[in-house]
Chain A
């Protein structure tokens, strides 16, 4: 790649607006919620507001602008709900697995469950539980000690002879 050309070319991602308008933030959050599978505009608006409130309360993260922080907060909202619904530890892997199950298409009507009263979304939760990825069984470790192989001395001498030859 010609670095000189790159430096004058348009960057791959446009630069972040210094002070993004609230319309812009809402538009990006709306697009994100739709990508996650939420289609009801009222639900999108409610979730976006919650995400914005959460982002405002969260400490500034290095490398993330206001819009990105709002999007991170949107993800955390989901994670909170998943952790409560499945009684999960706050481990990033566990939460990511639950989020992947949510977004896998196993329970397309999950947004309804998000707003449902406790106990009314059991079918959705069961489907999500079944869809959670299990990449490996529980560990059952064993030792595999390196074996000793006695190399014959004569061959070692030959090898030393070979190694002493100059290399080009």
Chain B
């Protein structure tokens, strides 16, 4: 993977999470800052890298694999305790 492709993936991942952390929407200034940075890197990518990133982006829209049930329940803990607040099923 080239540095440009790595940078693009990192920026895109950062943008998608920061949007969620901000409640679903970034300010216009933040959005345009990300857009500008993404655009700069986009033109450094090869055609194959662009296609790979577009394909990945489609994949990330799909659910990621996760267990149906984590198999854990919470536990009461008191201040001063070193105990964990959850335990796993045996």
Our verdict on whether A and B bind, yes or no, reads no
Residues of B within 8 A of A (CB): none
Residues of A within 8 A of B (CB): none
